[in-house]
Amino acid sequence: MTVEKAAFQMQLLGHKFFMFMNTESHEYSLLYRRDDGDLGMVQPESA
């Protein structure tokens, strides 16, 4: 799933965070809503 689709799903579900398989990196990523209202993302370090 793309980051944009994950953000849409997170908004649709009303969640503050959303874990998804990122189609760009082919690894799991965690999208979250920051205290300032923006989105942040946690992803594994590249080896």
Given this model, what pLDDT does residue 37 score? 92
Residue at token pair 């793309």? 2
Q: What is the pLDDT of residues 11-23, one digit of tens each?
A: 999 999 999 999 9
According to DSSP, the β-strands at 17-22 and 27-33 are antiparallel
Q: In the structure, what pLDDT confidence band is assigned to residue 45 with cuts at 50, 70 and 90?
A: confident
Q: 10: number of CA atoms within 13 Å, CB side?
A: 23
Q: How far apart are CA 27 and CA 43, in angstroms?
A: 8
| Secondary structure letter of residue 17 according to DSSP | E
pTM: 0.84
- Coil, helix or strand for 11? helix
Residues 26-41 pLDDT 10s: 999 999 999 999 999 9
CATH, range 3-42: 3.30.505.50
